[in-house]
Chain A
Amino acid sequence: MYWKYAVKRILYAFVMYAVIIFVFSGLFNAVAETVMRAQISEAIRGYAQALVQADRRLSGEQVQMMTEARRQELFDQYRLNQPVLSRVFARTFDTLQFKFGDSTIIRSSSGERDVWTIIAEAIPRTLLIFLTAVVLDIFLGIWLGLRKARKAGSVMDRATDIGTMVVFGLPAWWVGMMAIMTFAFVLPVFPSSGMHSAPPPPTSLGYLVDLLWHMTLPVLVLVILGFWGRAYLTRNIVLTTLQEDFIMSARARGLSERKILFGHTLRSAAPPIVTMSLLALLASVGGSLLFEGIFSWPGMGNLYWVAVSLNDVPVLMGDLAVSTGLYMMGLVILDLIYGFLDPRIKVSGKA
């Protein structure tokens, strides 16, 4: 009954997404409205001036009546004269349909104000840097984790354990600052920020090299901080599996240690390792907010930071909705893969 489980999981995720977006909408309502009211009174002022300019015979009362009518029109349009709850609901529905409206300040690189365009532009940039880093550190982490598990208790194992603990509470953005200070200013090897040189190189090969050059420092920092934890978890999962009875029986049968590790242990340790790796991929989708900001990497995280500091509510709401959506989508995919790899999950999933 895999498909039944899958459909149930997906439907359930949609409901949960709607609930979360509803909560976000409520939270944003307060901020959004102050911004919107300010924009409307700005627009009304402009409108009144235009009226007076267009027809000098209009009396003060007439102008007032017309601007008042216009104000009502705008209030209707933005639902500002409806009760709070219905506004929150309306915002929820708009967001669920990915109708984020226009940004107030931020523009896309081609100058558009459509929030969706702005976000669509940022997503691939975030994916580029974080996927590269995560893929690299999954490989590095699993490789090191396996080595650690095989030589559990050795000096190498313990030393790398200490490494894991040292980077545990280290904010990636601070390490980023350090890296910028060291490699962009003291030893100017890498650019300090951004995605391209100021005029990007004309040839496509040059463009690619330039991009890689800009990517190196942030990716390096992410990988250096990332693979420790992954190695530690892999080691623990593999080590736990190595104590199972079937491994002992494999050993008793005289199989080589290598065969036991790759043939038997890894097969049963795969689901948690896959989960762990995918979770890491997922966590990277929204971009690490501050990390991108520090490197001025124009992805989702940086967009969020800019939107917060410019108080651009539509972009903020859109960014949050999209990154939450991507994150939850990833969780669903994860559950589906996990259910596929480990049939027991489906049973316990019902409980």
Chain B
Amino acid sequence: MTKRDFSQMKALWDEFRRIKFGMVGLALLGMFAILVIIEPLIVPFPDAASRWRDMTYWVDNPRNAKPVWVNWFTSKDYAPSARIESDAFASEASGAGRMYAVEIPYKYHWVQAPTDITLRLGVTGNATYQVEFVRPDGLSVSYMKTSKSTGTRDVRISIAQNMAPQMFQFAQKIEDPAVMNSVTAATVNPLAILFGKAEKGSLLRGDKPLTGTYTVKVTALTADATASLDEVELIVAGGVQGILGTDNMKRDLWSGLIAGTKWALIIGLLTSFIAVVVGVIYGVTSGYYGGFVDSLMNRIYEVFSSVPLLPILIVMSAVFKPSIWIMISMMCIFFWVGPVRTVRSIALQIKESSYIEAARGLGASNRRILFRHMIPQLVPYAFASMALSVPGAIVYEASISLIGLGDATRVTWGQILQAAFSSGAVLQGIWWWVVPPGVAIAVMGMTFAFIGFAMDTILNPKLKTR
């Protein structure tokens, strides 16, 4: 970079600084960059990007849970997700094995019961457990289980999956027999019973919550000295979880959205950078040489610019089954035409200016004139053009993904929307799955539109309105 280029850039920056929305755009871009950098610190599931489609990674999450802040707007609060680990266990020798007793308190002060509660027990060897849920009103429900294994493994006891019959029996003791005859253990909501007031008439509906501290008592008896209970964790899969809730595959949407930010930036910036660099060089060359070269280059340009972009990108994706990098290359193949026409007309003007003639008179080569004297003049325009083609690239990627032809191994906003659309989130009203990725695309688009339009205002002084 020569001194002249530098002072030119400084002048450009001085002008840019005065445009408010341009600075807002830059600030937003900075915010996105920071989000990408601190991604591992702000997401609850740091491996979301690499294990997005790995069902086992998400197993403890609730399905279709709303965002936690939904509770601020409703009087019927949903129980949020929680994990309570207990490491303080008492154990004593009992017969050949050991006897463990663990108590985990769970404070419950919401209206809508969680979707499931799972007790995860990390065990080695053979053991028998008894799990007892003691309610604040003193009533309790218990469950027995024996596990046999040679190595260490997780035993999961879930209320929704394992304890429905026990909850049903519990309800039978309280509720009217007439009511109980109309339902079966398979049709009642076991969690509503566990967290409901022990009153006739409301227990099954779950609209009168019993708040207070629930205690989960786990007693385990191992079969021999080699067996042991190593970990006990209470996993509450709530009705609400995280900043943006979960989808129907139990994935945490906030983690996915942040993981997608990186890809949106990569797709947008890389595509627009390559496309604009190619387009500017193409346009300048075409304008500078003129004559036969110009008309040939114009013809090629016209072929590319008269192809309907989205359909052809979709066909190419269907044929090549692209990775995200191939998709970026495909977009570059068509995006470079964007700046060509304007650049060519600017180049035609610059070409006639006296300093180019002087350079030529001094014996500068064509290449030198193009790259040293003409292209630097176009840098501000190239920046504007780049900024304005970023949103397009992001939207095209999202569109191809929505049709189901994108790179399914990455978590992009388009992929999240595709999953939402194809599983009917729009029709089921699961707004927390559909709204955030779209808003993210819109805000990202807005960011670059702000920057690009600000550049545009600088480049067209006639449009200035003071």
Question: Is B421's beta carbon under 8 Å from chain A?
Answer: yes
Alpha-carbon gap, A180 to B420, bound state (A): 14
- Shortest Cβ gap from B107 to chain A (Å): 34
Point out the residue from A240, A286, A316 that lies within 8 Å of B462, measured CB to CB. Answer: A240
9 A-B residue pairs with CB within 8 Å: A16-B299, A16-B303, A20-B306, A28-B315, A168-B446, A169-B444, A171-B399, A178-B434, A181-B431
Across the interface, name the chain B residue whose C-beta is closest to A176.
Answer: B426
Across the interface, name the chain A residue whose C-beta is closest to B442.
Answer: A170
Query: Which residues of B lie under 8 Å from residue A175 when comparing CB positions?
Result: 438
The verdict on A169 contacting B429 (CB below 8 Å), with A28-B315, A286-B308 known, is no
- Shortest Cβ gap from A95 to chain B (Å): 14
Across the interface, name the chain B residue whose C-beta is closest to A13.
Answer: B306
Query: Which residues of A lie under 8 Å from residue B307 when comparing CB positions?
Result: 20, 324
Query: Which residues of B lie under 8 Å from residue A268 when comparing CB positions?
Result: none
Interface-side segment among A137-145, A158-166, A210-218: A158-166
Question: Is A345's beta carbon under 8 Å from chain B?
Answer: no
- Shortest Cβ gap from B240 to chain A (Å): 19
Q: Is the CB of A305 within 8 A of B403?
A: yes
Q: Is the CB of B308 within 8 A of A186?
A: no
Q: Is the CB of A153 within 8 A of B319?
A: no
Q: Is the CB of B427 within 8 A of A192?
A: yes
Query: Which residues of B lie under 8 Å from residue A293 when comparing CB positions?
Result: 403
Alpha-carbon gap, A16 to B465, bound state (A): 42
Q: Is the CB of B318 within 8 A of A308?
A: yes
Query: Which residues of B lie under 8 Å from residue A162 when comparing CB positions?
Result: 21
User: Given A169-B391, A170-B445, A175-B438, 15 more contacts at CB 8 Å?
Assistant: A16-B299, A166-B446, A169-B390, A169-B395, A169-B442, A169-B444, A173-B399, A174-B441, A178-B438, A181-B431, A290-B403, A308-B403, A311-B318, A324-B308, A351-B294
Q: Is the CB of B442 within 8 A of A323?
A: no
Question: Is B302's beta carbon under 8 Å from chain A?
Answer: yes
Query: Which residues of A lie under 8 Å from residue B444 when comparing CB positions?
Result: 169
B384-423 contacts to A, CB under 8 A, are 388, 390-392, 394-395, 398-399, 402-405, 417, 421
Alpha-carbon gap, A236 to B392, bound state (A): 22
Query: Which residues of A lie under 8 Å from residue B303 when comparing CB positions?
Result: 16, 19-20
Query: Which residues of B lie under 8 Å from residue A153 when comparing CB positions?
Result: 465-466
Query: Which residues of B lie under 8 Å from residue A327 when comparing CB positions?
Result: 306, 308
- Give the top 8 A-B pairs by smallest Cβ distance, nearest first: A169-B445, A169-B391, A153-B465, A168-B449, A174-B438, A165-B449, A152-B465, A171-B395
Residue in A30, A174, A175, A327 whose Cβ sees the most chain B Cβ within 10 Å: A174
The verdict on A161 contacting B453 (CB below 8 Å), with A169-B446, A309-B404 known, is yes
B: residues with CB less than 8 A from A are 21, 294, 299, 302-303, 306-308, 310-312, 314-316, 318-319, 388, 390-392, 394-395, 398-399, 402-405, 417, 421, 426-427, 429, 431, 434-435, 438, 441-442, 444-446, 448-450, 453, 460, 462-463, 465-466
Alpha-carbon gap, A351 to B344, bound state (A): 13
Query: Which residues of A lie under 8 Å from residue B316 when comparing CB positions?
Result: 27
A236-266 contacts to B, CB under 8 A, are 236, 239-240, 243
- Shortest Cβ gap from A86 to chain B (Å): 20
Q: Is the CB of A185 within 8 A of B429?
A: yes
Question: Is A7's beta carbon under 8 Å from chain B?
Answer: no
The verdict on A166 contacting B442 (CB below 8 Å), with A16-B302, A316-B315 known, is yes
Question: Is A320's beta carbon under 8 Å from chain B?
Answer: yes
Point out the residue from B299, B311, B319, B445 that lies within 8 Å of A30, measured CB to CB. Answer: B319
Q: Is the CB of A181 within 8 A of B449?
A: no
Q: Is the CB of B453 within 8 A of A165?
A: yes
- Shortest Cβ gap from B425 to chain A (Å): 9
Interface string of A303-326 (1 = CB under 8 A from B): 011001101000010011001100
Across the interface, name the chain A residue whose C-beta is closest to B392.
Answer: A169
Alpha-carbon gap, A130 to B218, bound state (A): 65
Point out the residue from B399, B435, B449 that lies within 8 Å of A169, measured CB to CB. Answer: B449
- Shortest Cβ gap from B93 to chain A (Å): 61
Question: Is A328's beta carbon under 8 Å from chain B?
Answer: yes
Q: Is the CB of B435 within 8 A of A171?
A: no
Question: Is A331's beta carbon under 8 Å from chain B?
Answer: yes
The verdict on A304 contacting B311 (CB below 8 Å), with A165-B450, A177-B421, A181-B431 known, is yes
- Shortest Cβ gap from B101 to chain A (Å): 50
Query: Which residues of B lie under 8 Å from residue A164 when comparing CB positions?
Result: 449, 453
Query: Which residues of B lie under 8 Å from residue A289 when comparing CB positions?
Result: 310-311, 314, 399
Point out the residue from B318, B391, B434 that lies within 8 Å of A181, measured CB to CB. Answer: B434
Query: Which residues of B lie under 8 Å from residue A170 when comparing CB positions?
Result: 441-442, 445
Across the interface, name the chain B residue whose C-beta is closest to A180.
Answer: B426
Q: Is the CB of A169 within 8 A of B394?
A: yes
Question: Is A341's beta carbon under 8 Å from chain B?
Answer: no
Query: Which residues of B lie under 8 Å from residue A20 when comparing CB positions?
Result: 303, 306-307
Point out the residue from B302, B311, B319 that lies within 8 Å of A286, measured CB to CB. Answer: B311
- Shortest Cβ gap from B415 to chain A (Å): 14
Point out the residue from B312, B388, B438, B465 that lies within 8 Å of A320, measured CB to CB. Answer: B312
Alpha-carbon gap, A161 to B441, bound state (A): 19
Point out the residue from B299, B449, B462 that lies within 8 Å of A243, measured CB to CB. Answer: B462
Interface string of A53-88 (1 = CB under 8 A from B): 000000000000000000000000000000000000
- Shortest Cβ gap from B64 to chain A (Å): 15
Query: Which residues of B lie under 8 Å from residue A305 when comparing CB positions?
Result: 403
Q: Is the CB of A31 within 8 A of B319?
A: yes
Query: Which residues of B lie under 8 Å from residue A171 when comparing CB positions?
Result: 395, 398-399, 438, 441
Alpha-carbon gap, A267 to B395, bound state (A): 36
Across the interface, name the chain A residue whose C-beta is closest to B417.
Answer: A174
Alpha-carbon gap, A308 to B391, bound state (A): 25
Across the interface, name the chain A residue whose C-beta is closest to B398.
Answer: A171
- Shortest Cβ gap from B278 to chain A (Å): 19
Across the interface, name the chain B residue whose C-beta is closest to A304.
Answer: B311
Interface string of A261-296 (1 = CB under 8 A from B): 000000000000000000000000010011001100
Query: Which residues of B lie under 8 Å from residue A324 when comparing CB positions?
Result: 306-308, 311
- Shortest Cβ gap from B164 to chain A (Å): 31
Across the interface, name the chain B residue whose C-beta is closest to A168.
Answer: B449
Query: Which residues of B lie under 8 Å from residue A166 when comparing CB positions?
Result: 442, 446, 449
Query: Which residues of A lie under 8 Å from residue B312 when comparing CB positions?
Result: 24, 320
